[in-house]
Amino acid sequence: MDTATPTNTTSTRTSTSTRTSTSTRDSIPTRNSTPTPAHPDVVVIGGGTGGYSTALRAAALGLEVVLVERDKVGGTCLHRGCIPSKAMLHAAELVDGIAEARERWGVEAHVGSVDWAALTATRDDIVARNHKGVEAHLRHAGVHVVAASARLTGPRSVRTDDGREFTARRGIVLATGSRPRVLPGLEPDGHTVVTSDDALFATGLPASVLVLGGGAIGVEYASFHRSMGAEVTLVEAADRLLPLEDADVSRHVARGLKKRGIDVLTGARLESATVGRSRVPGVSGAPGASGVPGASGMSGVSGVSGVSGVSGPGGGSGAGVLAAVRTPRGEVRQIAAERLLVAVGRVPVTDGLDLAAAGLTTDERGFVAPADWSRLETPVPGVHVVGDLLPPPSLGLAHASFAEGLLVAEVLAGVPTVPVDYAAVPRVTYSSPQTASVGLSEAEARGRAYDVVVNSLPLTAVAKGMVHGQGGTVKVVAERNGRVLGVHLVGPHVSEMIAESQLVVGWDAEPSDVAHHIHAHPTLSEAVGEAFLTLAGRGLHQQ
């Protein structure tokens, strides 16, 4: 977890027998003149969530660790992913709350404009403080951070682009992460065709966005831009949004986004896109067909915020894209938008790493696959891999990479550890509505020949769900007379509600094991409790 202040500054490094004093080893000077060992126990390449968690845990277990990072420790999640995007989505929730206050609660409030510079300043301050926190954690743990690009020169050796050589006594950990997937012919230009990276650092908010890809990034960014007043079209090639989630989650999230005025096209294909600096002409079928749609075009759409203008040079600048999208019915829709956000997945980063020097290759998708998932060790003994570099069943999620980092560090230190249980890793989308799930979808459970029972209830079945007034659902998938296999939530605050279900699924609990644990009243979590109660045969409010 990215935290601004180290919570434990007491180093346990000297308390285990695995540590060898640096004074007995060759050492070379670093930029900050701290001696960095040339022969540490572990060399970690990449300082994102996967790499820095490996380094912290390994150091806490007494290993001497060199962490090579060519950009900033914290990686994608802290600088371009989880943290900045969730900061922005928090601002979006506040804007939505103002609309709700007006529309449901009689509060005379409206949002006049959004000051993008102020919004991004707060976001960037949160990122900067977390960045300092991660640096401090690493420093306190005694991790030697080397600011350079690294490549392998053998199964235990690494060279950096500033000419240093390291040999790892115990192992090397590959943690070089991922970057946005680029579609041929639709290369990002940073202002009109953008990736999630560019969207963060744009000079302003667009008045209209075409989002390509309805995975987590596409859904979150579509939701954010809609809250901020943009006209949004979301195009997903698969037949539903968030295709890795339970089908009911996809259905509920699509319905929620549509209700907010987002034009959701699933099973749709981008046929062509014309990118120009000049104003995109009006086209039929596009949202707000009179040219690049303005933010004010959203008025009258129920359930959306009341932003009447966006400030900053990007707002309504006139540059845009004209896209032809083929729908499942075979019709071609012309969609005009000021910005095209390409969110069609991410690809592993291995270029320049010289995997071959260590006797390694990538799989056909570019991932570095472990030979032994219980140790996350590649076919080359002593070379481990964590984070976005791993193929499925790893999940491309920061919290999965934390667990992988802990595992690899413990393997390298030779202490008991447990493999990552990927089925029990929670998955959350921070859109409005939010989604949160853990375990098997109904289709997966049936596909594995379980005798499945399903219990679903709307969040509005409990009073607090009615207070929030945003709909939502709870779906529990269980074995008949057996354990809970999966829990799937859509609605307000479900990102915080999934923790309970993660323990239920992770501990192989049955509905009857959890049904007697009492939920506070009135809470949204009561709906989850009620779902378990009913499955245990003790339903109170659910008929």
Ligand X SMILES: NC(=O)c1ccc[n+]([C@@H]2O[C@H](COP(=O)([O-])OP(=O)(O)OC[C@H]3O[C@@H](n4cnc5c(N)ncnc54)[C@H](O)[C@@H]3O)[C@@H](O)[C@H]2O)c1
Q: Which residues are catalytic?
A: 521
What SS3 class is residue 464? helix
Q: Which does 343 bind (CB under 5 to 8 A by kind): ligand X, ligand FAD, none?
A: ligand X
What SS3 class is residue 539? coil
What spatial distance separates the first Cα and last Cα of the chain, rounded to whole Å?
Answer: 41
Positions in 390-419 near ligand FAD (CB under 6 A): 396-399, 401
- Cβ proximity to ligand X: between 103 and 197 the closer is 197
H or E stretch including 166?
A: strand 165-167
Work out whether 150 is an interface residue with ligand FAD (CB under 6 A). yes
Number of helices and strands in the chain (H, E): 13, 25
CA nearest neighbour of 209 among 343, 337, 342, 344: 337
What SS3 class is residue 233? strand
Positions in 170-189 near ligand X (CB under 6 A): 183
Positions in 427-466 near ligand X (CB under 6 A): 428-430
Work out whether 437 is an interface residue with ligand FAD (CB under 6 A). no
CB of 243 to ligand X, least distance (A): 5
131: which 2 tokens?
Answer: 């960045």
- Cβ proximity to ligand FAD: between 376 and 445 the closer is 376
Q: Which does 240 bind (CB under 5 to 8 A by kind): ligand X, ligand FAD, none?
A: none
47 CB-contact burial (10 Å; exposed 0-12 / middle 13-18 / buried 19+): buried
Site stretch for ligand FAD (CB under 6 A), options 182-190, 345-353, 434-442, 527-535? 345-353
CB of 353 to ligand FAD, least distance (A): 5
Residue pointed to by tokens 């560019």: 198
From residue 178, how far is each of 46, 166, 355, 440, 471 by CA, in Å? 11, 24, 16, 26, 35
**Percent helix / strand / coil, the chain, rounded to 5:** 35, 20, 45
Most distant CA pair in the chain, distance:
74
Site stretch for ligand X (CB under 6 A), options 10-18, 107-115, 213-221, 474-482? 213-221
Positions in 33-72 near ligand FAD (CB under 6 A): 45-51, 68-71
**DSSP code for 310:** B
Q: Answer yes or no: are the C-beta atoms of 533 and 539 closer than 8 Å.
A: yes
Rule CB under 6 A: choose which of 192, 196, 305, 441 binds ligand FAD.
Answer: 196
What SS3 class is residue 392? coil
CB of 516 to ligand FAD, least distance (A): 32
Rule CB under 6 A: choose which of 36, 61, 62, 76 binds ligand FAD.
Answer: 76
Work out whether 120 is an interface residue with ligand FAD (CB under 6 A). no
Work out whether 237 is an interface residue with ligand X (CB under 6 A). yes
From residue 27, how far is each of 60, 118, 206 by CA, in Å? 21, 46, 52
Work out whether 396 is an interface residue with ligand X (CB under 6 A). yes
Spatial separation of the C-alpha atoms in residues 223 and 253, rounded to whole Å: 10
H or E stretch including 44?
A: strand 42-45
CB of 431 to ligand X, least distance (A): 9
Binding mask 79-118 for ligand FAD (x = CB under 6 A): -xxx--xx--------------------------------
CB of 262 to ligand FAD, least distance (A): 18
Backbone angles phi, psi at 532, to 5 degrees: -70, -40
Work out whether 157 is an interface residue with ligand FAD (CB under 6 A). no
Residue of minimal CB distance from ligand X?
215
Positions in 304-343 near ligand X (CB under 6 A): 343
CB of 117 to ligand X, least distance (A): 24
Number of residues lying near ligand FAD (CB under 6 A): 37
Site stretch for ligand X (CB under 6 A), options 307-315, 379-387, 424-432, 451-459? 424-432
Rule CB under 6 A: choose which of 40, 74, 218, 256 binds ligand X.
Answer: 218
DSSP string of 410-459, one letter each residue: HHHHT-------GGG--EEE-SSSEEEEEE--HHHHHHTT--EEEEEEEG
- Cβ proximity to ligand X: between 185 and 537 the closer is 185
Rule CB under 6 A: choose which of 387, 465, 472, 511 binds ligand FAD.
Answer: 387
What SS3 class is residue 337? strand
Q: Which does 77 bind (CB under 5 to 8 A by kind): ligand FAD, ligand X, none?
A: ligand FAD
Work out whether 397 is an interface residue with ligand X (CB under 6 A). yes
Q: Which does 54 bind (CB under 5 to 8 A by kind): ligand X, ligand FAD, none?
A: none
Q: Answer yes or no: are the C-beta atoms of 76 and 176 closer than 8 Å.
A: no
Rule CB under 6 A: choose which of 120, 130, 178, 455 binds ligand FAD.
Answer: 178
Site stretch for ligand FAD (CB under 6 A), options 76-84, 101-109, 114-122, 496-504? 76-84
**DSSP code for 306:** -
302 CB-contact burial (10 Å; exposed 0-12 / middle 13-18 / buried 19+): exposed
CA nearest neighbour of 197 among 184, 188, 210, 206: 188
Work out whether 346 is an interface residue with ligand X (CB under 6 A). yes
Q: Answer yes or no: are the C-beta atoms of 311 and 114 closer than 8 Å.
A: yes
CB of 122 to ligand X, least distance (A): 20
The amino acid at residue 129 is R
Residue pointed to by tokens 């012919």: 185
- Cβ proximity to ligand X: between 80 and 151 the closer is 80
CA nearest neighbour of 383 among 150, 191, 130: 150
Planar angle of CA 14, 19, 22, nearest 5 degrees = 95
Rule CB under 6 A: choose which of 68, 205, 217, 340 binds ligand X.
Answer: 217
Site stretch for ligand X (CB under 6 A), options 139-147, 212-220, 247-255, 305-313? 212-220
**DSSP code for 346:** E
Residues binding ligand FAD (CB under 6 A): 45-51, 68-71, 75-77, 80-82, 85-86, 149-150, 175-178, 196, 217, 349, 352-353, 387-388, 396-399, 401
The binding site for ligand X (CB under 6 A) comprises 183, 212-218, 220, 235-238, 243, 270, 343-346, 396-397, 428-430
